[in-house]
Structure 1
Amino acid sequence: MFESAELGHHLGREAYEAEVSELREALLDAQHELKERAAGPVIILINGMDGAGRSETLAQIDAWLDPRLVPVYAQTAMFADPVDEATGRPWLWRYWNALPPRGQIGVYFGSWYSDVLFGRVYGQTTEQQALQALAETLMFEKQLAAEGASIVKFWLHLSKADQKNRLKSLEKDPATRWRVSERDWQHVKDYDAIRAEAERMLRATSIAESPWVVVEGLNARYREITVGRTLLNMLKAGLEHNAKPVVHDDTPPLLPPVDGVMLLDTLQLDQPLDKSEYKARLAELQSRLAQLTREAAFANHSLLIAFEGNDAAGKGGAIRRLAMALDARRYRIIPVAAPTEEERAKPWLWRFWRHVPKRGGISIFDRTWYGRVLVERVEGFCREVDWMRAYNEINDFERQLHAAGAIVVKFWLTISKEEQLARFKAREETGFKRFKITDEDWRNRDKWDDYKLAVCDMIDRTSTHHSPWTLVEANNKYYARIKVLETVCAAIEKRLAEGAKGSKKGKLA
C-alpha cells in the first residue's frame, strides 16, 4: 500500500506557485460556503511516519483556511495520555466529545488510529483488542458519515532511509533541533514494525465513507498540493451531497406479528402490592442500593439507568425513589427533551455520549437515546433508514459502555390505556400536577398502537445479554417502584460478583 508513496514524488517551485494561489482561494470559498449552509462537518485525520511533515501540513491547512472555523485536536496533547476524565469511560468517549459541529472543519493531528497502532507495536494491546478497536472506529466513522460528515484520512509516508535522513537534518539545525525527541528515534528503530502494522490497519479501515489517502511526505510542495487538492475535493463533495434533495428510502418496512400478539400484550399490568408492604420494601431496598454504590468495588464501574415508558407511567416517581438512596455528589439526572441547536449540529448520539459517567459515577436518564426508534420513528422526525440503522448503533454504544465497566440498566414502564387516561385526568384536576400534562401527551395517546409496535420492535432488537430490557408493569405505582429498585440492586450485585470472580481467577493464574 505504501509502494507508490516511496517513488520520490516531486513538485517544482514554479508548478507549485502556479497552483497554490488559486487553490487557496478555492479552499476559502468552499470553507465559507460550508459554514453558510451549515453543511458537513468535514473531518480530517493527519497520521503518518515521524518526519513526514505532519506538523507542517497541519500548519499549512491552518494558513490556507480561516482558522476560526478549524478546531484542531492534537493526539499528543489530548489523546496520547488520557486524563482521568477519559480513562474512566469507553475509549472513544474522548473522540465523541471532540467532534466539530456542522459547518466546520475539524483537524485531528493523530487520532483514534494512533491508539490502535502503537498499542499493537509496543505490545500494550492484544491482536483481538486491536481488531475490536478497529471495528469500533469503523462503526464510529460510518455513524459520522451517515449523519452527513465528510471524512478524509491522510497517512503521510516516508521510506526508512528518508525518515532517518529527515530526522538527522532537523536535529542538525538549531532552529528545529527541539522537534526531534527520543521517541522519534525509537520509532526509527521500530520502523519496520510500525510500517507493517500501519499497512494492515490502513487496508482494514479504508472504506467508502472514510478512505485513506497515502501521501509521500519527502517533498513539501508535492505534499502540500496533494493534501490541498484532496481537501478541496472533499469540501466540494460535501457541499454537493448537502445540496441534494432527500429521496425516498427503499428500506423494507417492519411489520407487526401476523397473529397480532405483541410482547406488551402478554404483561399482567395490575400487580398487587399494598402501601404498608411497599413502605417496608422501599426502606430495605434503598438501604441495599446505598450500600452497594458505596462499596469499594463499585468504584471500578459506572452505572447508567435508562428510563422509557408510556406517558404518565411513573418514571419520575421511580427516579425520585432511586435518587433518595444515592450520594448526591455522585449521580446526575439527565432529562431528555427535543435536541437543542448545539445538539442538532452534532451526530445524534453525541448528546448521550457526553453524559456517560466516569467510574464510580451514576447517570439516570429520564428518556434516552431510544427516542430515535420511538418518537422520531412514530412522528416522522427522521427518515426510516436513520431509525433502522439506529438499532445497530445503539447496541454498539451499549456494548462499548459494558466493555468499559458500565452497568447498564434499562426500564420500560408500561401501563394500560385506561390507566393512562385516568392519570391524565387526575393531573388536569390537581393544581400542582397540571404542569405534567401537555398537548403532546394527548397527541401521543392518539398514536397508542403505533407506539406499541415501535416499543416491541425496540425491545426485540436491543435487549442484549449485557444490557437487557426490564419491563415494569406499572398500573400499581408501588409495585413499579419496588421492581425498579430490585432490578438495579440485582444488576449491581451481579456485576460486582463477576468482577470478584475474575479477580480470583487472575490471582490463581
Structure 2
Amino acid sequence: MKSTANASQPHLTSIFQKVEQQIELPKREYKEVIKQIRTQLLELQFQAQELDIPVIILIGGLDGAGRGDALNLMMEFLDPRYINIHNLWSPTDEEQQRPLYWKYWRAMPAKGEIGVFFHGWYRDPLHDYAEGRLPQPDFERKMRYVARLEKMLVDDGALVMKFWFHLTSEAQKERVKEHKKNPGSGFIVTSEEVERVKHYNQIVTAAARGIAITNTTEAPWFLIDAYEWRYRNVQFLGSLAEGLEEAIARASTPPVTSPSRTLSLGHFPNTASILDSVDLSASLDNRDYQKVLKKQQHRLGKIAWKALEEGVSSIAVFEGWDAAGKGGTIRRMVHALDARLFKVISTSGPTDEEKRHHYLWRFWRHVPRAGFVTIYDRSWYGRVLVERVEGFASTDEWERAYQEINDFEYQLARHGIVVVKFWMHISKDEQLRRFEERQATPWKQHKITDEDWRNREKWDSYQRAVDDMVARTSTTLAPWHILPANSKKLARVEAIRHFVDAIEMRLKGELKT
C-alpha cells in the first residue's frame, strides 16, 4: 500500500496518546455507572425530541474497536423508533451517479430524530489519503469542506457528535486475531480489514490529520479508548449524554437575535444596481423568434441525448420577478426534450416534512442522476430572496446562506454536473402591465394573487436582495445569467442558448469542474 500520509509525524498522532491508556473498569463500578447513563439517555432523547433537535452521530475508528457493540448498546438504551442507522459503505448505482454528499443528505435526520452514520463522510477521503490515492492538499480541502458542512448543520439547530474508537496497534492485531479464531463472536473479519491492520500507522496518521482539521467547537470529536469494553461503553454513552444535555440547554435558551439591517452587506445608497445595467429594450420580432427558437430547441434536443450517452447531468435554475415569464421559458425548454430525460421541480413554500430538515435537504433530493436534466422553477435561492425580504429567515440565517449555497453548487459542479442559473429581469412598469393583463384575461387570472401585489410593493428590497445574490453566488462553476425579459421571446431563446452552450462546453471538456 503506497501512502501519502507520513506515519512519522508525532505532533499529529500524539492526539491519540491519551486514549491509549488501556484502562479497565471494574464490573461493579460499571454496573452502577451504566445504569445511571441508561436512565439519563432515554430522558434526554425525549427532551431532544420535544425541542425538535436533530441529532447526527458519526461513528469512526479502527477495525476491531467494538464500534458495533457500543452502538447496539445505545440502541438498547434508547427508543429505536426515532433512530436510523446508516451504513453507506458500498455505494449503489444510484449513489454513484450523483455527488458524494447526495446519499448523506437523503439520510439526514428530521428534527427530533437521531441519525447514526457509520464512518459517514469521513470514510472515503480518510482511506483514500491513507492508501495514497488522494494527495494531501486534496484531502485537507475535503476536510475543510466537511468542517463547513458540519457547522452549517449545527447552525441550523442540529447536534453533531463524532466518535473515534481507538486501539493501539498491538491491541488491534490481538483483537482481530481473536475474532478470526472465534467467528461465532459476531464479528466477521474481512480481507479488507486484515489489509488495513497491516497499515495501522498510515490510517492513524490520516485520521489524526483529519481530526485536527475538523475538530471544531460546533462539531467536536470524542476519542474513545476501546481497549476494554466496559470502559469503552461508559466513555461513548457518557459523552453522548453530555452532548445531548448541552444541546438541550442551548435549545432551551432564547436565541440572541442579531439587529436587523436596513441595508444588505455591500449595498450602499445611490449605488447602481446590477439589474440597472441590463438592456430591457432588446427584443425579437415574431419571424426571427420562431426561426431562432426552433434552432435552439433542435440544439437542446440533440445535445440532451449526447449528454445522456456520456453521463453528463445538468441543472437549470430559474429565478426572476413575478410575471417575468419563467413558466413560459421552461415550457419552451422542455418542449425540446424527451419526457424521459428531465424533471421540473416547482418550488413553493416548504411542506411540513421539509420544514423538519435543513432548507437545502429538499433540493439535494432532486439532484439528477447521470445524464439527466433537472429544472428548478424557483430554488434554494428563496433563502436569500423571499425568506430574507419577508423575514421568514433571520439575518444570521440568510447571511450565512451565501456560503452554504456556494458549497452546495460546488459539490454539484465538482461531480461534473452542469449548473446554469437564470434571473429573468423585467421593469417595474412591464410587471404592472402583465399583472393587469392577467387580471383582465379569464384563463390567466389564476396566475395573479394577492401575494404578487404585496411582493411588488417591496420591489426595492427585492432588488437589493437580487444584487447581493448575484454578486455573492455567481461563480465560474455556477454562473448567473441575467436575461432581459421585457421581451419574452428574447428571454426564451437566450435561456435555451446559454443552457446548451454550457452543456456543449462540458462535453468538450472546456467547462471547469
**CA separation of 1:174 and 1:447: change in aligned 2, threshold 3 A:** closer
5+ residue gaps in structure 1? Answer: 503-509
> Structure 1 CA distance, aligned partners of 2:323 and 2:474?
23
Residue aligning to 1:228: 237
State the AA in 2 paired with 1:13.
K
SS at match of 2:73: helix
1:19 pairs with 2:33? yes
1:319 pairs with 2:330? yes
1:312–1:420 CA contact under 8 A, matched in 2: yes
State the AA in 2 paired with 1:425.
E
Residue aligning to 1:506: none
The C-alpha deviation readout for 1:292-322, integer Å capped at 9, x for no partner, is 1111676332110000000000000000000
The structural deviation recorded for 1:244 is 1.6
Residue aligning to 2:11: none
Q: 2:250 aligns with which of 241, 250, 259?
A: 241
1:492 pairs with 2:506? no
The structural deviation recorded for 1:272 is 2.3
Residue aligning to 1:3: 17
Q: 2:362 aligns with which of 324, 331, 351?
A: 351
> Structure 2 CA distance, aligned partners of 1:384 and 1:122?
44
The C-alpha deviation readout for 1:110-151, integer Å capped at 9, x for no partner, is 211111111112233232332222122112111101100111
Residue aligning to 2:185: 176
The structural deviation recorded for 1:168 is 1.9
1:156 pairs with 2:170? no
For this pair of structures, how many residues does the alignment match? 497
> Structure 2 CA distance, aligned partners of 1:501 and 1:390?
24
SS at match of 1:108: strand
State the AA in 2 paired with 1:167.
V
> Structure 2 CA distance, aligned partners of 1:488 and 1:377?
28
SS at match of 1:46: strand
> Structure 1 CA distance, aligned partners of 2:410 and 2:303?
23
TM-score (norm 1): 0.94
**CA separation of 1:251 and 1:188: change in aligned 2, threshold 3 A:** farther
Q: How does 1:399-418 map to 2 (within 5 A)?
A: 399-418=410-429
1:311–1:420 CA contact under 8 A, matched in 2: yes
The structural deviation recorded for 1:500 is 10
> Structure 2 CA distance, aligned partners of 1:401 and 1:103?
29
The C-alpha deviation readout for 1:133-182, integer Å capped at 9, x for no partner, is 21221121111011001111100000011111112222222512762222
Residue aligning to 1:507: none
> Structure 2 CA distance, aligned partners of 1:299 and 1:251?
48
1:133 pairs with 2:166? no
1:153–1:210 CA contact under 8 A, matched in 2: yes
> Structure 1 CA distance, aligned partners of 2:512 and 2:129?
28
**CA separation of 1:323 and 1:302: change in aligned 2, threshold 3 A:** same
2:147–2:213 CA contact under 8 A, matched in 1: no
The C-alpha deviation readout for 1:380-414, integer Å capped at 9, x for no partner, is 10110110111111111111111110111100001
2:363–2:380 CA contact under 8 A, matched in 1: yes
Residue aligning to 2:467: 456
Residue aligning to 1:35: 49
**CA separation of 1:305 and 1:177: change in aligned 2, threshold 3 A:** closer
Residue aligning to 2:288: 277
The structural deviation recorded for 1:41 is 0.8
> Structure 1 CA distance, aligned partners of 2:495 and 2:287?
18
5+ residue gaps in structure 2? Answer: 1-14
> Structure 1 CA distance, aligned partners of 2:468 and 2:206?
41
> Structure 2 CA distance, aligned partners of 1:254 and 1:2?
43
Q: How does 1:13-412 map to 2 (within 5 A)?
A: 13-38=27-52, 40-74=53-87, 78=88, 80-176=89-185, 179-249=188-258, 253-254=264-265, 256-295=267-306, 299-412=310-423
The structural deviation recorded for 1:34 is 1.5
Residue aligning to 1:468: 479
The structural deviation recorded for 1:43 is 1.0
> Structure 2 CA distance, aligned partners of 1:382 and 1:402?
27
> Structure 2 CA distance, aligned partners of 1:414 and 1:177?
63
Point out the more displaced range, 254-263 or 390-399: 254-263
Percentage identity across paired residues of the two chains: 41
The structural deviation recorded for 1:89 is 1.7
Point out the more displaced range, 259-268 or 217-226: 259-268
